[in-house]
Amino acid sequence: MSTKDDEYDYLFKVVLIGDSGVGKSNLLSRFTRNEFNLESKSTIGVEFATRSIQVDGKTIKAQIWDTAGQERYRAITAAYYRGAVGALLVYDIAKHLTYENVERWLRELRDHADQNIVIMLVGNKSDLRHLRAVLTDEAKAFAERNGLSFIETSALDSTNVDLAFQNILTEIYRIVSQKQIRDPPEGDTIRPQNVEQIDVKPTMNTDSVRRQCCQ
């Protein structure tokens, strides 16, 4: 966490959502601090962490907001969807109910987040092979139907955690850079240093946007 706020080209706000106990906080701590706690305390309200990655030689800083899973906190957590350009919607591959609730979380995003938010469905706890309750193909098909990207991760053994964040950040980056080529922002060029948040608003005919070909 040595990166200073001013040493980045892009700043993307991403939210982690999904049912209680699916491992959102551990995905975050694995990605930002390379830490994992088998029993980590429940998240109260919202917690925050950041990490920067490189894409195409650009530094992309992810500002990640980890939200509480319990229904009662929705009123509070929904406030954090504003300005988010990406969402990791997490379920537990060993608990079918957390997968069934994905639809509810999608509705939640539709109601409160920017309509162009990039969503990635994440099946976490892939290390629990013997307890698997959600088939990979089933989730993959669901993701395709709904225009989401999809990945399975394990915060415990680190499988795909970096990749998941890398994929979603790259996807957002592609959309944003496309957008900038198409209609440059007011003024001559962008000045990333001053950009607090970047709104992703691809138009319908942006053909590089993967998720839109499915709609």
- Residue 143 parent element (H or E): helix 136-145
For the chain, helix (H) and strand (E) counts, in that order, are 6, 6
Q: Could you say whether residue 114 binds other proteins (CB under 8 A)?
A: no
Site for other proteins in 153-212 (CB under 8 A): 196
What is the nearest approach in angstroms of other proteins to the Cβ of residue 192?
15
Cα–Cα distance for residue pair 153/89, rounded to 1 Å: 12
Q: Could you say whether residue 72 binds other proteins (CB under 8 A)?
A: yes
What is the nearest approach in angstroms of other proteins to the Cβ of residue 121?
21
Q: Could you say whether residue 73 binds other proteins (CB under 8 A)?
A: yes
Q: Could you say whether residue 70 binds other proteins (CB under 8 A)?
A: yes
What is the nearest approach in angstroms of other proteins to the Cβ of residue 151?
24
The pair phi, psi for residue 88, each rounded to 5°, is -100, 115
Indicate the residue among 5 and 157 with the shorter CB distance to other proteins.
5
Sheet bearing 149-152, strands edge to edge: 46-55, 58-67, 10-18, 86-92, 118-124, 149-152
Instruction: Identify which range of 74-82, 117-125, 183-191, 207-215 contacts other proteins by CB under 8 A.
Output: 74-82
Per-residue contact track with other proteins, 6 to 45, x per CB under 8 A?
Answer: x-------------xx-----------x---xxxxxxxxx
What is the nearest approach in angstroms of other proteins to the Cβ of residue 45?
4
Question: For the residues of 15-74, what is the DSSP string, one character each?
Answer: EEEESTTSSHHHHHHHHHH----TTPPPPPSEEEEEEEEEETTEEEEEEEEEE--SGGGH
- Residue 89 parent element (H or E): strand 86-92
Q: Which residues are CB-contacts of 54 (< 8 A; sequence separation ≥ 6)?
A: 60
Which of residues 9, 10, 24, 63 is near other proteins by CB under 8 A? 63
Residues lying near other proteins in the complex (CB under 8 A) are found at 1, 4-6, 20-21, 33, 37-50, 63, 68, 70, 72-73, 75-76, 79, 196
